[in-house]
Structure 1
Amino acid sequence: MALKFGISGLRGTIGDEADNLTPDVVLAYARAFGAWVRENSPMRTPLVALGYDGRRSSPMIADLVRGGLLSSGCAVLDLGLSLTPTVQFTVSHHATVAAGVMVTASHNPLPWNGLKFVDGEGRFIPLDVWARLHEIVERAGWVWLPLTQIPHVRPWHDEAHRRHMQAVLNAVPVEAIRGARLRVALDACNGGAARWGDMLRALGCEVIACHTEQHGFFARPPEPLPQHLGTLAALVRNAQCDVGLAADPDGDRLALVDERGDPISEEFTVVLCARERLMNRRDGVVVTNVVTTHALEDVLPNARVVRTAVGEMNVVNGVVAHEAVLGGEGSGGIIVPDVHLARDGMAAAALILSLLAQTGEPLSALVAQIPAWRMVKRKIEPRGIAADDVRALFAAWQQTPPHVECSDGHVYLASRDGSLTLAADDEGVRVEGVLPDRRRFATTLADAESRTLVQRLATTAPTLDLTDGVKLDGGDVWLSLRPSNTEPIVRLMGEWRGD
């Protein structure tokens, strides 16, 4: 399997026969990033913040990154076991820090690891900077610095967390939350999110935690989906907690369990956080992506919801452009501008506690007030077709939008560059495509939910949105098709109103 590069960083596997995140790769890109930082920093010896998540390979990889940064002429502010948002906060709120690196593969399974590179504003580096890193990696003849010029390493573990936590506390009504005397269950996914407990206790919460051990393994699948939160759900029920909070390994996402022990859809985290931010405002802007639940508009009738392309960088840019009170995606990644411009699970958790304290209602009641939308997430896999060929069709449609027809259980998109047909039948949804080079593919989504989604959309005259891939919006039903940046698949997502 090839290394994966994208806005959120570099990822690969380690420790098995198919490993590709080798020491040479890690060191090469750490050196390249250090060289790029030096090219773009006014400081002679730029300072780079470095943190890592709780997986077994992360301290080893962090050692390689540390060496690569030092050998490129960058000093290192060492945060140790940390969180991606803490690294980003440190960069954006510490005047002498020029950039950051987080060693993590986020929600990927344990054999994976990776590097997230952060620019001087605390944001992930864009694709043009990645292109520059690739150029530097390919450059031959790396020369070591003279011994007297090798920079220093400065430990900053506790102080980085303390400053980040204080910024979160400054963004919420602390006394109101303390007055609610909430009992909170925390699932830290065996990573740096165990330190969320400090923030919870500062808010007067009683904390009952699980999966806080730092042994290098994950006690549950690392993505905080409802089906992975059984231990947290049982803890909430048995300890009679008001809420359960679950993190992913690098702490940039938040999932919830209500007081009855029922896991909440990750789509609702942004809806609940947006409600909290707008409780005491007449209006405001909330920025999300094109495939986050449309329940957001239902819950926030007085707000303006702006939708961007998928990805943290796109949502952050939207937050800045529209001076939004909140940004977020349906994955549970929440951006609280009053804290910083990055997805931040700890900040999102504080907003949820604020909502519980200020409304006095249990989480289950707050969720019940969200209008019902049924979400579908699937992968269309055109067998024998390369990822570049799939992307070529959608790229062509950006230049020449496809014609859309909906009728009799069929959704048809076509232009001179190619076509896609989604046809609901007894087996599910038959997908047929014609690529720009005229090759054809066909596959089936064999499930009832996909069939219902296509059937409902086929009864509408949907609007076409090309913000990210293709989105067809029929009002009470919508469907999105987006090609993957790394795999030969098309991601199908959609919703319809009602159960």
Structure 2
Amino acid sequence: MSAYRFEPTILREYDIRGIVGKTLSGADAQALGQAFATYVIDQSGVSAPRIAVGYDGRLSSPDMEAALVDGITSTGAQVVRVGLGPTPMLYYAAASEKLEAGIMITGSHNPPDYNGFKMMLMGGPVYGKMIQDIGQIAAEGRFKKGVGSSVSLDLMDRYVSRLIQDFKGAPLTVVWDAGNGAAGVAMEKLTRRLPGRHILLNEVIDGTFPAHHPDPTEEKNLVQLKAAVAEHRADLGIAFDGDGDRIGLIDGQGRVLWGDQILALLARPVLEALPGATIIADVKASQVLFDEVARLGGTPMMWATGHSLIKKQMKVTGAPLAGEMSGHIFFADRYFGFDDALYAAVRVLETVAWAGKPLATLRDELPTRVNTPELRFPCADTRKFAVVTEVKERLTQVGANVSTVDGVRVNTADGWWLLRASNTQDVLVARCEAADAAGLERLKAELLAALAPSGVTPPQF
């Protein structure tokens, strides 16, 4: 293939993603295989690198996989095809087989007509400028040429064995919902090897997602799980997104535990075993989490949103645990440091057993705050970062207490409010948290006042 230009909108900050038949095609997959493998060869210095390839359950994924493999092997690289499964299994393949790189074909939690690619290189994520560089290789037609090969590797059972190799749990009644996503088979195999009673929902992989949209961070997608937990009087319920790298969790009373609450509870046994350890969370997380980590004797760290950015910071700091509000949970403690919702689920079960209390009780032990959901409101790509900069400058002039790790997070006597630009969409993101309803109203007003001079349509609270 000669020079090839991708539709610019598919080259995202953390992955490559588009609508099949509109912005993403098999030709894109083949060109990406050539460009990515060329990039891996250049960066690794290995002339015939081994690259793991996996795919999710979307209807377009098998054809995308075949085209991707053709592109990779045309450079002389070697492909290790791990087949259908969750994204973390692809990460596991690269780590356990000591491969130079990996690429997962997945639309993640997006609607059925989407698909995309998540990439890793030399044990770390491929994101930001690296993705743009891969696009540039394709645009210039700078593809390596060679005769590569591909082999198939079935490591599903090995992956599941690794998930529970040092499990220290107790029998519980648990409802699991794979949402017809790529975690289904692994979830079935895992639950057969866990003690207790396990009720499975939507474990059959189906790229049309007939039961509900596979995004466990939206409460409307947890209705079926809540009903099953109530019906079976289960201790808890666990849900996965479309490619199995994000977790959703509800307690035995049917209440959702959001990403920061999950992380706060998982931190307890980790910090008992590793006193003083750094625990990382993104800027959208509740102050309750950071205070809880400090109370437990750990070192809380607030970091920029984005699974690639969190993974990189974990390596820099040696943090054993990190997480995001989006449900990405990263364990380097006894694991590899990548986001794996199935492994996070295992550690949730361990934590409940370690505490000797129901999950609902553990949730009740966390301090309560009132907050807005994550508010996403339109702002042109050409303006969104500039708006955040304008707000930051105005806040600095009035001496506000501002963290600028990712956008602006403003601390006041009432609590905090956040404004940041999305890295993947033409939107601004806002959130407020306070001790009580009156304080929350004051924070909302402060956010709107800070935003008004920039002339953007404000969020609807």
* TM-score (structure 2 length as normaliser): 0.85
- Label 1:308 to 1:266 Cα distance change in 2 as closer, same or farther (>3 A): closer
CA distance in 2 between partners of 1:47 and 1:104 (Å): 20
Residue equivalent to 1:381: 378
One-letter amino acid of the counterpart of residue 368, structure 1: D
Residue equivalent to 2:258: 265
Q: Which residue of 212, 217, 221 corresponds with 2:213?
A: 221
SS at match of 1:61: helix
Residue equivalent to 1:198: 189
Tell me the alpha carbon deviations over residues 24-43 of structure 1, each in whole angstroms, 9 at most, x when there is no partner: 22221221001111223343
One-letter amino acid of the counterpart of residue 62, structure 1: E
CA distance in 2 between partners of 1:134 and 1:37 (Å): 13
* Superposed displacement of residue 476, structure 1: 4.4
SS at match of 1:403: helix
Tell me the alpha carbon deviations over residues 252-280 of structure 1, each in whole angstroms, 9 at most, x when there is no partner: 11111212333333442222222232244
Structure 1's unaligned 5+ residue stretches are 405-412, 416-460
Residue equivalent to 2:122: 120
Percent of paired sites with the same residue? 26
CA distance in 2 between partners of 1:395 and 1:130 (Å): 25
CA distance in 2 between partners of 1:347 and 1:475 (Å): 38
More strand by share: 1
One-letter amino acid of the counterpart of residue 312, structure 1: H
Q: Is the 8 A contact 1:226 1:264 kept in 2?
A: no
* Superposed displacement of residue 104, structure 1: 0.9
CA distance in 1 between partners of 2:421 and 2:203 (Å): 36
SS at match of 2:101: strand
One-letter amino acid of the counterpart of residue 25, structure 1: D
CA distance in 1 between partners of 2:101 and 2:150 (Å): 15
Tell me the alpha carbon deviations over residues 34-93 of structure 1, each in whole angstroms, 9 at most, x when there is no partner: 111122334332111111111221122112111111122222111111122221122123
CA distance in 1 between partners of 2:306 and 2:430 (Å): 16
CA distance in 1 between partners of 2:50 and 2:274 (Å): 39
Q: Is the 8 A contact 2:137 2:143 kept in 1?
A: no
Q: Is the 8 A contact 1:270 1:330 kept in 2?
A: no
* Superposed displacement of residue 105, structure 1: 1.8
Residue equivalent to 1:181: 171
One-letter amino acid of the counterpart of residue 299, structure 1: E
Matched, 1:10 2:16: yes
One-letter amino acid of the counterpart of residue 374, structure 1: V
Q: Which residue of 425, 428, 435 corresponds with 1:497?
A: 435
* Superposed displacement of residue 298, structure 1: 3.4
One-letter amino acid of the counterpart of residue 233, structure 1: K
Structure 1 segment 451-462 matched on structure 2, within 5 A:
462=400
* Superposed displacement of residue 320, structure 1: 2.1
Residue equivalent to 1:246: 239
SS at match of 1:11: strand
Q: Which residue of 29, 32, 40 corresponds with 1:29?
A: 32
Tell me the alpha carbon deviations over residues 399-437 of structure 1, each in whole angstroms, 9 at most, x when there is no partner: xx5132xxxxxxxx779xxxxxxxxxxxxxxxxxxxxxx
Number of aligned positions between the proteins: 424
Structure 1 segment 153-192 matched on structure 2, within 5 A:
153-157=150-154, 159=155, 161-170=156-165, 172-173=167-168, 177=169, 180-192=170-182
* Superposed displacement of residue 395, structure 1: 5.1
* Superposed displacement of residue 117, structure 1: 1.2
Residue equivalent to 1:445: none
Matched, 1:341 2:337: yes
Q: Is the 8 A contact 1:276 1:352 kept in 2?
A: no
Residue equivalent to 1:318: 313
Residue equivalent to 2:202: 211
SS at match of 1:482: strand
Residue equivalent to 1:426: none
Residue equivalent to 1:85: 88
* Superposed displacement of residue 310, structure 1: 1.0
* Superposed displacement of residue 462, structure 1: 4.5
Structure 1 segment 407-426 matched on structure 2, within 5 A:
none
Residue equivalent to 2:425: 487
CA distance in 2 between partners of 1:50 and 1:492 (Å): 36
Q: Is the 8 A contact 1:189 1:220 kept in 2?
A: yes
SS at match of 2:192: helix
Matched, 1:59 2:39: no
User: RMSD of the TM alignment (CA)?
Assistant: 2.3
- Label 1:199 to 1:215 Cα distance change in 2 as closer, same or farther (>3 A): closer
